Amino acid sequence: MKNRPTRAQSTVAMRSWRPSGLVALAAVVALTAAAPATAAKQPRQVTEAVAPRVAGEPIMAIVSIKSQQVTFYDADGWILRAPVSTGTTGRETPAGVFAIIEKDKDHRSTMYDDAWMPNMQRITWNGIALHGGPLPGYAASHGCVRMPFGFAENLFDKTYIGMRVIISPYDTVPTDFSHPSLFVPKPEAIAAAPSRADKLSAEADEATRVADEAKKAASAAAKEAASLPAALRKLEQQKARADAELAFADKTLVNAKTDQARAKAEELKQKAVAKAADAATQLDAARAAAQPKRDAAAATKEAAKAAAARKADAVKAATDAKLAGEPVSVYISRATQKLYVRRNTHKPAPDGGGEVFDTSIEVPVTIRNPDQPLGTHIFTAMAKTDSGLRWSVVTIDNGDDARNALDRITIPQDVWDRIGPTALPRSSIIISDEPLSSETNYRTEFVAVLSNEPQGGFITRKPTAPAMIASDDGWDNGGNGFGFFFQQRDPYVQPVNPRPRSQYQYYQPAQPMQRGFW
């Protein structure tokens, strides 16, 4: 009985609806339905924040597309946070793994009407960057990550080339992590690294000097050997002419009718005999000397090849020793089943854009159940500890659990032995289902984008110029390390990820194009 009044009131209310009342109700429903779309354009309540402690050197930045914010982390946690504006629909900011590759305090866009992009920190050469810009409170850029003007200015001098930038579709934070496959540096190896680098650098210098001298000797010997056929042909022609003259003298002597003619013919024959004998002697001597010269040329050529090989080994060892003092980054791709290593050489790129990253290690890896997704996980060495390094993990694409993903990978021991003992804070290991983007080349760290997320801002930009890869001619062709030469194809353009994906695919040019700036 208690419910009867209520039901009666409801019935009366329902009966009292008039057309105007229904229209009003419909309007309320329509406004309610439209609320999410309107709310999506409303400014979010993300504010700038600074950690209440002394900040260390930033190690990584994480941009959350979902929350429209960026957070910077040092070894002990977050240090700076600010709202951002990422790419709008159709020009979405690509989610993935990046690093700062160039900085420009007062950048002007060459793609968007000379637009001012102050305190620009580039993360791809085709035009994705972090920079100061207007923040309407929602995604509104052409693919870049806009930060508050003052925040971008204060941040500019705190970051560095090679600093990790992670763009995540959703909110994620670094989580403490440990695993036996992560680098465990050896203090004695780190302590010995500087003197080892000096020693190997001196050995590389000596090997380079010896190789240069051997190359010059081989060149001179090859030049001399190359002249032998022409010299022998000339002597053979001289002998043939002398033999012809001798034959003519014999014929003249036979046909002589008088004593005077015979005497003259005899004199001619004696001269012809001497000339033929001299030509034969010269030819025999040249033929005898030719073979030792050919043998010498072959020997100096082999010596030059051996010296060049010793130089290459010495330069490689010196380069590794020199780079041992740099944080190392490793990328493992399920799509290609390869492992790639990057370290910053701090050498300016020969074309004036950014710095050169060492690209000398690329090896196959074994992945258990390679048809099953790994996800995308970024493991970062945050700081030194008494036992080695303290690690964190950031996951931006769910596949397998981070620990299980690492368990499934077998990494060549010689690679670990080469880079693990001297691993430093800021070193990282990235595991992903994705291939490396075609943006990865000699002047980037790793660029990998999630192909199951929109990448409008990435797709619309032109690809960069053909990559230059390392040669073994020395730093800038003049010292220990790597020189560089253009090649027609970027060695890191990988096939499309076999993992099922959405319609969005990042740009992979079939042919190299001229470098396009934005």
For the stretch 431-443, pLDDT in tens is: 999 999 999 999 9
Of 428, 397, 505, 329, nearest to 73 by C-alpha is 428
Lowest mean pLDDT among 250-264, 313-327, 454-468, 484-498: 484-498
Fold observed for domain 190-324? Helix Hairpins (1.10.287)
CB 139, CB 92: distance < 8 Å? yes
- Checking if the pLDDT of 473 tops 80, the result is no
Name the DSSP letter for residue 141: B
- pLDDT at 484 exceeding the cut of 60: no
Average pLDDT over residues 185-201: 92
Which of 8-17, 147-156, 339-348 is the least confident region?
A: 8-17
Structure confidence at residue 387 (pLDDT): 87
Rounded mean pLDDT, 333-350: 94
Give the whole-number percent of the chain exceeding pLDDT 90.
Answer: 53
Q: Which secondary structure element, helix H or strand E, spans residue 373, and what is its range?
A: none
C-alpha distance from residue 389 to each of 145, 166, 380 (Å): 31, 21, 9
Question: What pLDDT is recorded for position 35?
Answer: 40
Q: Across residues 60-75, what is the average pLDDT?
A: 97
Tens-digit pLDDT profile for residues 416-431 = 998 999 999 999 999 9
Higher pLDDT, 245 or 321: 321
Exposed, middle or buried by CB within 10 Å (0-12, 13-18, 19+), for 418? middle
Burial class (CB in 10 A: 0-12, 13-18, 19+), 66: exposed
Q: Is 144 a catalytic residue?
A: yes
Which carries the bigger pLDDT value, residue 10 or residue 67? 67
Distance CA 318, CA 472 (A): 11
Region 5-10 average pLDDT? 35
What pLDDT, on the 0 to 100 scale, is given for residue 99?
96
In which band, very low, low, confident or very high, does the pLDDT at 408 lie, cut at 50, 70 and 90? Answer: very high
Least confident of 2-11, 191-200, 414-423, 444-453: 2-11
Could you report the per-residue pLDDT of 260-317, keeping only the tens digit for each?
Answer: 888 887 888 788 888 888 878 877 777 777 777 788 888 888 999 999 999 999 998 8
Nearest to 396 by CA among 80, 95, 177: 95
Query: Which one of 107, 131, 142, 377 is the catalytic residue?
Result: 131
What does the pLDDT average to over 59-86? 97
Q: What is the pLDDT of residue 41?
A: 47
Asked if residue 324 has pLDDT above 50, the reply is yes
pLDDT bin (cut points 50, 70, 90) of residue 14 is very low
Task: Please tell me which residue, 250 or 404, carries the higher pLDDT value.
Answer: 404
Q: What's the half-sphere exposure (Cβ side, CA atoms, 13 Å) at 514? A: 2
State the pLDDT at residue 326: 92
Q: How confident is the model at residue 230 (pLDDT cuts 50, 70, 90)?
A: confident
Per-residue pLDDT tens digits for 447-467 = 999 999 998 888 877 655 544
- Bigger pLDDT: 181 or 510? 181
Domain ranges of the chain: 190-324
Q: Does this model's pTM top 0.75?
A: no
Of 14-18, 290-294, 328-332, the least confident: 14-18
Indicate if 179 belongs to the active site. Answer: no
* Given 107, 142, 144, 377, the catalytic residue: 144
Residue-level pLDDT at 109: 60
What confidence score (pLDDT) does residue 172 get? 96
Element of type H or E holding 79 = strand 77-83
The residues facing 344 across adjacent strands are 357
Where is 346: in which H helix or E strand? strand 338-348
Q: Is 154 helix (H, G, I), strand (E, B) or coil?
A: helix
Instruction: State yes or no: pLDDT of 492 exceeds 60.
Output: no
DSSP, res 477 = G
Tell me what the pLDDT averaged over the chain comes to.
Answer: 80
pLDDT of 510 strictly over 80: no
Angle made by CA atoms 169, 174, 175, in degrees to the nearest 5? 125
- Pick from 35, 100, 129, 63: nearest CA to 445: 100
What pLDDT shows up at residue 469? Answer: 39
- Helices (H), strands (E): how many in the chain? 8, 22
State the pLDDT at residue 20. Answer: 41
pLDDT the model gives residue 350: 85
- H or E, element range at 287: helix 259-323
Residue 222: pLDDT band by 50, 70, 90 thresholds? Answer: confident
Taking the alpha carbons of 142, 147, 149, 154 in that order, is the dihedral positive or negative? negative
CA distances from 82 to 52, 55, 79, 152, 305 (A): 15, 16, 11, 9, 58
**pLDDT value for 94:** 95
Q: What mean pLDDT is predicted for residues 83-96?
A: 95
Q: What pLDDT does 37 receive?
A: 42
pLDDT of residue 112: 57
Q: Comparing 143-152, 297-306, 505-514, which segment has the lowest mean pLDDT? A: 505-514
- Please tell me the predicted confidence (pLDDT) of residue 471: 39
- Asked if pLDDT for residue 183 goes beyond 90, the answer is yes
pLDDT of residue 107: 58
Residues ≥6 apart with Cβ < 8 Å to 204 = 311, 314, 315, 317, 318, 480
